[in-house]
Amino acid sequence: MLRILIASSFLLAFSAPTLAQAPSRSIESETGRIAIETFAEGLEHPWGATYLPDGALLVTERPGRLRLVSTDGAVSDPIGGVPDVVAGGQGGLLDVALDPDFANNRMVYLSYSEERGGAATSVGRGRLNENESALSDFEVIFRQEPAVSGQNHYGSRLVFAPDGKLFVTLGERFKMRQAQDANNHLGTIVRINPDGSVPDDNPFVGKDGADEIWSYGHRNVQSAAIHPETGVLWAAELGPRGGDELNIPEAGRNYGWPVVSWGRHYSGERIPDPSTRPEFAGTIHSWTPVISPSGMTFYTGGMFADWRGDLLIGGLSAEGIIRVRIDGEQVAGEEVLALGRRIRDVVQAPDGAVMALTDEPAGRILRLSPAASQ
């Protein structure tokens, strides 16, 4: 059973994209008290974030803006050169990632929902200029096919593996049965080179199936991270009524949605449990009731020594961060750090603090650090 950690007080509301001045509060955790501060505020549905080498944060806002948040929490004007997005429902400007060779090429990658006679997730990249105010030469390197109607289940996280390959997680756009067809990108995780070309060793190259696909049979994957020791991709996806999943996606494997699930359809209709269909890839862990996972990172810092190696997952319906203790490829335990806000993404700061993006019209970035002893 999850241990819910209740916050001692609530953060103040705000609206302007300026440096936050809200006082800190604290919550209790299994490893001690945690101080919660509002680091930045006034961000409209912030969705993804990544650190630049200078310590500033690049942050996406779902309506279609990319902003820079300085080391003191000041929020910039929108960065230029960002592509047009379909901002509606769950769609908009989604994740952001830096090229592994950013120090030399200054390439920034964005995922977003794109209108093309229907909508689907696309990925593009552009060069961030030296004063960090605009992207230039933005080009689309991947387009999910097909583009379909609807505003749900776009995915999507961008994760570079140690070998430089880019994983892109994609929802099935609420077209459930399509997730079982490996000839399209709905409900898949794809693996591409940084320029969008297909790696020769992808599992469906030269076979029946889309060349870009790494794994399929997914519902809506909004969490992904590389294990810092093994270099292997881990991913968490949202289930229906129950059945959120934590997986280690394997090349060419089918993860079963919607044929099997640990949850039920929204209508209440039962779905066979994954254990009844052993031909599908198994799940590392599942959640019922759901946590609605979005964004995650393996903690490797020194500020929370007891968390080192743990998986930190943003929880939308859980309204907090789920700290998952990992033992090899098994879940050894977990707790919910209750923040009272829908958490869209979680990133580790250079100093080891944990930063959490809140999914709100007046969203903020929360900073978690050990509370000072009284």
Catalytically active residues, by annotation = 153
Length of the chain: 374
Strands 244-247 and 285-287, bridge-based pairing: antiparallel
Contact of 181 with 258, CB cutoff 8 Å: no
| Amino acid, res. 142 | F
CA distance 348 to 150: 33
The secondary element (H helix, E strand) that includes residue 188 is strand 188-192
Structure tokens at 331: 């879940």
Contact of 30 with 47, CB cutoff 8 Å: no
| Amino acid, res. 258 | P
Sheet holding 107-115, edge to edge: 93-98, 107-115, 119-128, 135-143
CA distance 10 to 26: 10
Residue whose entry in the numeric block shows the structure tokens 């689907």: 120
Spell out a b/e string for 168-202, using b for 16 or more CB atoms within 10 Å of the CB, else e.
bbbbbbbbbebbbbbebbbbbbbbbebebebbeeb
Contact of 212 with 185, CB cutoff 8 Å: yes
